[in-house]
Structure 1
Amino acid sequence: MSTVSLILCLALMLHVTSACDGPNEQQQLAASRQQSDEYFANAYGFTPETWSAFSYQPSNPYYAPEYSGHYEGRTSLNSLQPINENNPFNKYFANSNNVEVEQSQAENRFLLGGLGANLINTGIFNNRFTPANTWRPFSNFANRIPISYNPNFDNPLDTFDACTSPSGDAGICVPGSVCSLFGGRPSSSCVLGKVCCVNTISTCGGTVTLNNTYWQSPTTAVSASSTCAITLRLDTKYVEQLKKPICQIRLDFVSFTTAQPTAGTCVDTFQVSGTTTLAPVICGDNAGQHMYLDVPSSALTSTDIQLMFNFGAATTTRSWNIKIAMLPCGASYLAPTDCLQYFTSATGKVKSFNWQDVASTTTRQLNNQKYNICFRTELVSGSRATQMCVSICTVTNGGDAFYITTPAAVVTAATTFLTVVTTTAGATSQSNVGTTVSSTGNPAFVVATCLYDFLQIASGQDATTGVEADRFCGNQLNPARGADLLNPGLATSTQVCTSIRPFRMTFKTDGTEAAIAAVTPPTVPAVAGADAANTGFCLDYQEK
């Protein structure tokens, strides 16, 4: 009788286990994948927009292959990540084929490599039974879970998943003891008994290996003529980076205040080294700004990225809070290559570094800026946007929403081509476009307009008149072109639209605000007046 009972129990157990393979399994997986994708994106600071870029199977017809490309993201937007036939959790299961893998396991500084998977799979489903007992009804349980390596999908068995605390801070899901080991602050609960651990560093000279780490200024005042730096170490030998090799870093400047530049040149500097992206040196006020930095895949090589402040002798308040997000290779929310800034909503605001809505008689625009600003093409009213329009921001505190290079109209007449060019700050309010304007003087000479400092918008057209230009400067945004040196453009700004996709802008400034009096082709092809009180730009953008 006991034998019959045992057989019946086995049959019943196998029947129940096989029920896991029903049609609801795929539906549950798809729902879980979608919820997890959106949750992970929110943890990185993104809010799902009308046209999501995550890679679960979409139902919207606008996700057709012709709407995806290498620029809009790093992965195709119209298909799921392929299922990996080799279960990525195989290394966590006890079998003879994995001995060498486990012996070569990545360095684990806290003895926590694959902690969750080891406890669940090995500890619960295998080691509850002695090796002498070959009856293991749960030994194949983990293999029944449809797992594929998709960076956009956080499997609940993974460790170090992203999360968001009730206060809005980003963190990672880990056991409470691990959070303590990393020196983090538990803020809320995650799945499987984990906590949302918010990690902060408020020292100089530290090393960051955790995703969603906040680097804050020290509690004591930062002294003048000093340096403060940290190192981001990207290496899959670390258990916290084992599952997801890193290909990009996103820096969010939650707060950022340093000394203002002198004639456009930073006295205090913030710079990045070790990335393939050449990030410009910045300073001043940059709260709310961000940077995307491409790095070599940590699956191929370990990389050290350094973030460094150098403080000059000026006495001023210096404080910062920088969120450091490590973005995995293959994720659909990576910024396109060579895009220092990337915006993923249909409307928003884009500003040059150190632009503020404040009255100022000194230059806030930074020298030596050269970077691309990119915009993901969104769905607008169910259709993919066909154009993007920009217009100057509304200012209420005396700031100037667009001032790049003093307009050429205030350049005084020169008697010879090499005569020193002077300007009168604030003498007029004019737009400039193109690169040079020829004077009608005798002899004629050439004065640079948007040659050295400019905002480039490919095929930018006046939304009303259709007048087109691609380089904009002066202190009005308008593509209208003047007849000569004394009439360079218009004294009003207008909405400028482009239909060139992918949508992007390029901002470039040279290394000086002083007048350029000597021409040395080809590096200095034209003279230029001195700049005064340039502010940079603040633009409202809208995709249509």
Structure 2
Amino acid sequence: MSLDVARLPGVLEACVGHVKNDLPKPKTPRQAKQFSMFQVVQFANIQCNGSASMTGTCYTEDECTSKNGVSIGTCANGFGVCCRMVMSCGETSSENITVFADTNVPTGMGECTASINPANTDVRQIRLDFERFQIAGPSLVSSEVTKILNGSPSFMGTPNAAVGQCNLDRFQVQGGSHGRPPIICGLNTGQHMLLDVDESSNIDLSFQFGSVATVRSFQIRVTQYEMNSPNLAPAGCTQYFTSASGTGVVQTYNFGNVHLADQSQVMCVRQIQNACRICWTVADDADFAVSGSVSFGIGGSTQVESCCGPNSKGSNKQGLDCLSLPSAENKEGTARLRSRFCGRNKGLTTGPAVSITICSKLTPFQITFRSDSFETIPSIVGTPLPEATAMDKGVKLIYFQDNMNCMN
């Protein structure tokens, strides 16, 4: 076989042309810019802030639409949208941030439950922020509804009222891996609640409506925290306050109306750098109104016998409404105080006249409000002061942190 040298340039030109046709065509400057932008820009699906102080999760616009979310703003420097996921009665979500809202609640008696599944296997805590929360409040029935002896109904027991019990509407959280938050009702806008979970936890947020005509308004932001989150609270906390200044305000659920029965509300505070102690006080003496076990003294005066424990006779479980602060000390750090506080009007005291500041170095920083199911109604002189007629509004406290006597 011989090679025709004269035809070689043409053959080579044809081969080169064929190769050029098989290569991708160069993109225009606009196409090249678009291609590189979509290849380079990536962002995490993290919490973002939208309009009207609302929060959501950062997604692409298509992802938000596919998840039936609503855009409330932009995120990721404009490449994503702040997507707000909203669910109502009978729905389920596994998003790290979603909102349980009152868009489909029964008008009469009934149930409204939404379910939350962990977004991934690293989720360890779920936080419920009550952006709006108003349902029927607790019972105000101060007349006798039963008699209690040793914590159980008995015709030989002490007269008991239903004050503070969520017998009409109620909200409860079911599921989790460590305890269960208390059942609440009434007005709790601005409050929050925590629940410890693991990867297998399925959480139900359940409203039970027992009243026919009442205000029902709720919007609950549900946030899931992973094990490495800086916002993760110590296990067992009902609430967690994370002010960067180390100061803030806490209050019992339905504060200002009637404090709720059957509560164990553990209010935890994140410790700031260089602080070894947390202190608690009231802005107003009337911000502490918790019943105690009180007996009539000489001349009609009253004195506190005990709180957070059965009365001296032990005949019924009363006097369990109190605030508990283990290892309590005075503001100066020079004296240990009792760890349980109860009573009305200046209840946070060491005596009957002067409100004080109580502190503790015990970590993690926390204070606990406990209440029982029983409100005593005296039938004869000499029995404890009536709790049911007082309508105690609960506790509201200011806290601050300091480094006094850190070496002690």
**How would you bin the TM-score normalised by the shorter chain?**
0.7 to 0.9
CA contact 1:434–1:469 (8 Å) conserved in 2: no
User: Which of 235, 246, 254 in structure 2 is aligned with 1:337?
Assistant: 235
- Report the secondary structure of 2:375's partner residue: coil
Aligned amino acid, residue 369 of structure 1: Q
Q: Deviations over 1:232-255 (max 9, x none)?
A: 122xxxxxx45x732110000111
Which residue in the other structure is 2:160 paired with?
Answer: none
1:265–1:435 Cα change, 3 Å: closer
Alpha-carbon distance change, 408 to 167 in structure 1, aligned in 2, over 3 angstroms: same
Q: TM-score, normalised by structure 1?
A: 0.55
Alignment of 1:402 with 2:304, yes or no, is no
> Which residue number corresponds to residue 356 of structure 2?
494
Following superposition, the deviation at residue 501 of structure 1 comes to 2.5
Unaligned runs of 5+ in 2: 1-34, 140-162, 403-408
Deviation at 1:286, TM superposition (A): 0.6
User: Deviation at 1:290?
Assistant: 0.8
Distance 1:339 1:215 in 2: 22
Query: Greater share of strand residues, 1 or 2?
Result: 2
Equivalent position of 2:347 in the other structure: 477
**How do 1:251-290 and structure 2 match up within 5 A?**
251-262=128-139, 263-266=163-166, 267-276=168-177, 277-290=179-192
Cα 1:271–1:496 change in 2 (3 A) is same
Q: 1:230 is matched with which residue: 114, 119, 122?
A: 114
> Whole-Å Cα distance in 1 between the matches of residues 359 and 318 of structure 2?
19
1:372 and 2:266 matched: yes
Query: Aligned to 1:458, what secondary structure does the other structure show?
Result: coil
Aligned to 2:45: 160
**Matches of 2:204 and 2:323, distance apart in 1:** 29
Runs of at least 5 residues in structure 1 that lack an aligned partner in the other structure = 1-118, 126-155, 235-240, 414-423, 439-444, 481-488, 518-526
- Which of 205, 208, 211 is the equivalent residue of 1:307? 205
The reply to whether residue 508 of structure 1 matches residue 394 of structure 2 is no
Once the two structures are superposed, residues 439-478 of structure 1 have per-residue CA deviations (whole angstroms, 9 ceiling, x without a partner) of: xxxxxx6799985121110122333684611011111234
Give the number of the structure whose residues are more often helix, by fraction: 1
* Partners of 1:307 and 1:394 in 2: CA distance: 34
CA displacement 1:186-238 (0-9 Å, x = unmatched): 1222227221112222x31111121221111127x74231111101122xxxx
Task: After TM superposition, give the deviation of residue 493 of structure 1 in Å.
Answer: 1.9
**What SS does the corresponding residue of 1:177 show, helix, strand or coil?**
helix
TM-aligned CA distance change 1:180 to 1:328, over 3 Å: same
- Counterpart amino acid of 2:84? V
Cα RMSD (Å) = 3.3
Do the aligned partners of 1:163 and 1:173 also contact (CA within 8 Å) in 2? yes
Percent identity of equivalent pairs: 29
Counterpart of 1:104 in structure 2 is none
Residues paired across the two proteins, number: 333
Deviation of the 1:491 alpha carbon: 3.3
Aligned residue number for residue 254 of structure 2 = 354
**1:151 corresponding residue in structure 2:** none
> Does the residue aligned with 1:468 lie in a helix, a strand or coil?
coil
Q: Is 1:539 aligned to 2:407, yes or no?
A: no
Distance 1:314 1:264, change over 3 A: farther
Equivalent residue number for residue 190 of structure 1: 75
Distance in 1 (CA, whole Å) between partners of 2:284 and 2:191 is 18
Q: Identify the residue that residue 461 of structure 1 maps to in structure 2.
A: 329
The CA distance in 2 between the partners of 1:458 and 1:450, in whole Å, is 21
Measured after TM superposition, the shift of residue 436 of structure 1 is 7.0
CA change 1:337–1:516 in 2 (3 A) is farther
Is this contact kept in 1: 2:90–2:113, CA < 8 A?
yes
Max Rg structure: 2
Q: Give the letter aligned to residue 259 of structure 1.
A: A
Whole-Å separation in 1 of the counterparts to 2:63 and 2:94: 14
Cα distance, 1:407 vs. partner?
Answer: 5.5
Greater RCO (CA < 8 Å, at least 6 residues apart): 2
Cα offset, 1:323, TM superposition? 0.4
Mapping 1:102-113, distance limit 5 Å: none
CA contact (8 A) 1:411 1:529 kept: no
> Could you tell me which amino acid in structure 1 is paired with residue 255 of structure 2?
W
In structure 1, C-alpha distance between the alignment counterparts of 2:253 and 2:44, rounded to whole Å: 36
SS in 2 for 1:167: helix
Deviations 1:338-395 (A, max 9, x none): 1111112210001011102xxx6xxx1111111322111113xxxx112211111338
Change (3 A) 1:226 1:434: closer
Q: How does 1:47-446 map to 2 (within 5 A)?
A: 157-191=42-76, 193-201=79-87, 203-218=88-103, 222-234=106-118, 241=119, 245-262=122-139, 263-266=163-166, 267-276=168-177, 277-296=179-198, 298=199, 301=200, 303-313=201-211, 315-345=213-243, 346-356=246-256, 364-379=258-273, 384-394=274-284, 400-406=286-292, 408-410=294-296, 435=309
